[in-house]
Amino acid sequence: MKVIIAGAGIGGLALALMLHQRGIDCDIFESVRELKPLGVGINLLPHAVAELDQLGLLDTLAAGAIPTSALHYYNRHGQPIWQEARGLAAGYAVPQLSIHRGELQLLLAEAVAQRLGAGRLHTGLAFESLTQDAQGVTARFRNRTTNQLEELRGDLLIGADGIHSAVRRFFYPQSDPLRFSGRMLWRAITDADPYLDGKTMFMAGHQDQKFVCYPISEPLRRQGRSRINWIAELRIPDPELPATDWNRVVDASVFAESFESWRWDWIDIPAIIRGAQAIYEFPLVDKDPLPRWTQDRVTLLGDAAHPMYPIGSNGSAQAILDARCLADRLQAATMRRNTGIELALKEYEAERLPPTAGIVLRNRLNGPEQVMQIAHERAPDGYAHIHDVVPQAELEEIAMRYKRLAGFDPAALKTKQG
């Protein structure tokens, strides 16, 4: 079996490593000419970390990533709403990890080069089209250096090429628009003094004005400092999707005034904003769930399959879970003839499409961050105690419901791993 993977993001690289582990041949094709440590921070939930542990990568990851100890929610006045332990502190077998996205991508790419060979990751090749027959797939990639089309043959093709997936667009050229929330994100990294225990992730505000913050560098933490990944979010007056370049660098003056009073005894958010070297603007978008991902010998994975709001730390985690499921199904397919590949892709879709579609829709309702919106709606000017506004049982149910939906309920994971 020969697998063609379009896209060398976290999902595509994880899939390549999992296929290799199962004795399945693959090549990865990435449109950018050189992988660089771009982007900001991401959070890897325990069920995704467990999959990377199965690849023997946990020790390498843990050397650079923060083992997230807790998640806190606050209102816009800095009053606590909900706090819970995370990762090892919450009883999981593996940590929850906060890391720079670019560092994680390069770590996975290095593992691919070491295990599959340096010639299996091909850069500067952008997917353009494909044809299929009963024996396999012919994929065409545009060489971004020579501008020539290169034709490749494989038994199947996996579109793991992100939210702007060219593979997805090939099958859905007109009826698959981005859905804009009306909210804008500003993302950056600031080196500063640590807050709380130096390992806590927190969110403050409500759905129209929110600040997310978590440290992402274990080496810096050990030096008594903190590399803080942060996201500021605001609803913007114009409800139309901005036509400007995504991830463009902007000045803090675009949004910082809205957070100027957010100084509390344990953190100074205006100072965090001022300390960033570069701030990137990004619209909060997703897409409606597709009725199907699979077209004969082609399927989708990660953001190409289910782009979702970055709520609940689930984008990268779900891509890794996709990769594990698909690799397992393809391994089983090697024991079958004729319909093995087509059946494997349908089984993968049947298992992964429903839960990821549920996460996309739940994230539109703010996922576990509902607790901030509920607190804001019931007590916009604050409260003496959160339980005067939102009962403990309601807070607990919201938190656990999302864990079950996203697949990281501690009890279920213990049963599965046990």
Residue 75 has pLDDT above 90, yes or no: yes
Residue 145 lies in a domain: yes
Range 65-75 average pLDDT: 97
- Reported as a single tens digit per residue, the pLDDT across 312-330 is 878 899 999 999 999 999 9
The percentage of residues in the chain with a pLDDT greater than 90, rounded to a whole number, is 86
Q: What is the mean pLDDT of the chain?
A: 93
State the CB neighbour count (10 A cutoff) for residue 363: 24
Q: Is residue 417 scored above 60 in pLDDT?
A: no
Q: Is the pLDDT of residue 222 over 80?
A: yes
Domain at 318, CATH number: 3.50.50.60
- Residue 188 included in any domain: no
Band the pLDDT of 311: cuts 50, 70, 90. Answer: confident
Separation of alpha carbons 197 and 200, rounded Å: 6
Q: Is residue 245 part of a domain?
A: no
Residue 362 lies in a domain: yes
- The two tokens of residue 257 are 């005034």
What is the DSSP secondary structure assignment for residue 243, as one 8-state letter? -
* Residue 101, pLDDT above cutoff 70: yes
Mean pLDDT of 382-389: 97
Q: Domains in the chain: how many in total?
A: 1
Q: How confident is the model at residue 411 (pLDDT cuts 50, 70, 90)?
A: confident
Structure-model confidence comparison of residues 243 and 189, the more confident one: 189
Domain containing 137 equals 2-36+104-177+293-366
Q: Tell me, what's the pLDDT at 247?
A: 74
Query: For 337-381, what is each residue's pLDDT tens digit?
Result: 545 999 999 999 999 999 999 999 999 988 899 999 999 999 999
Helices marked H in 122-243: 166-171, 218-222
Distances (CA, A) of 39 to 19, 147, 186, 208, 338: 26, 27, 12, 24, 42
Q: Whole-angstrom Cα distance, residue 47 to residue 402?
A: 14
Q: Cβ distance 215 to 228 under 8 Å?
A: yes
Mean pLDDT of 246-252: 87
- Residue 396: strand, helix, or coil: helix
Cα separation of 150 and 128, whole Å? 10
Sheet bearing 2-6, strands edge to edge? 121-123, 25-30, 2-6, 156-159, 298-300
User: Would you say residue 298 lies in a domain?
Assistant: yes
Residue 87, φ and ψ in degrees, nearest 5: 60, -135
**pTM exceeds 0.85, yes or no:** yes
Query: Model confidence at 244, in pLDDT bands (50, 70, 90)?
Result: low
CA trace torsion 403, 62, 318, 158 (10° rounding): -170
* Distance from the first to the final alpha carbon of the chain: 31
> At which residue do the structure tokens 């049963």 appear?
415
Confidence bin at 5 (pLDDT 50/70/90): very high
Is the pLDDT reported for residue 36 higher than 70? yes
Q: What are 102-154's pLDDT values in tens digits? A: 999 999 999 999 999 989 999 999 999 999 999 999 999 999 999 999 999 99
Could you tell me if residue 59 is inside a domain? no
What SS3 class is residue 290?
Answer: coil
pLDDT score of 339 = 57
Q: What is the pLDDT of residue 416?
A: 54
Backbone angles phi, psi at 248, to 5 degrees: -75, 150
Predicted confidence (pLDDT) at residue 258 exceeds the cutoff of 60: yes
| Structural domain contains residue 323 | yes
Which amino acid type is present at position 163?
I
- At 157-208, the pLDDT tens digits run 999 999 999 999 999 998 899 999 999 999 999 999 999 999 999 999 999 9
